[in-house]
Amino acid sequence: MASDTWLIAGLGNPGPRYRHTRHNIGHMVLDELVDRMDAKYTRTKVGAQVVAARLGAGGPKVVFAVSEGYMNTSGRPVRGLMDYFDIDPERLVVVHDEVDLDFGRLKLKRGGSEGGHNGLKSITQHLKGDRDYIRVRVGVSRPPGRMDTADYVLQKFSAEQAKDLPQVINRAADAVELIITDGLTATQNTVHQS
């Protein structure tokens, strides 16, 4: 029988060059969650940095993780952590950037297609095609004009977006915590109406 532990994976790329780019908003949300726990990441053998803790006193067990590799290899460390902690896909929450949502909008869903997102494709591949995990999609907007999407998501946020970014990150972190404590449907009802 699988454990009741949750795995929260924030997608992004490693290193200072990518730290404040749109593609790394998943990392930013995880950093906020880890800060709330007053914890520090530790390195693992599977290529991820993690914090394993309880959400609140006596609350659910949660593993917060960011990959040390690039976005398109996210699946390997996620699968390694799921195997190590015996976590089912139903208890996997992936936080990632979403160009099909306006900046700052959040959309939560379970399953569905990867929508061209290489991080999600890698995770689904390493889960042998299982898409039954939860996605916290954080809107970064579409690129302007004819700009290539890959170039756009690897750029830093605009000055105007950067002003609102802390609030967006906080709302996404709140949504992750609510998914764990209240369930996906209740959280969708709260988040999608705001």
Q: How far is CA 143 from CA 12, 65, 176, in A?
A: 18, 28, 26
Catalytically annotated residue among 20, 23, 117, 192: 23
* 192 counts as catalytic: no
Binding site for tRNA, by residue number, is 18, 70, 72, 118
Q: How far apart are CA 127 and CA 153, in angstroms?
A: 25
Q: Which residues make Cβ contacts (< 8 Å) with residue 125, sequence separation at least 6?
A: 75
The residues assigned a catalytic role are: 23
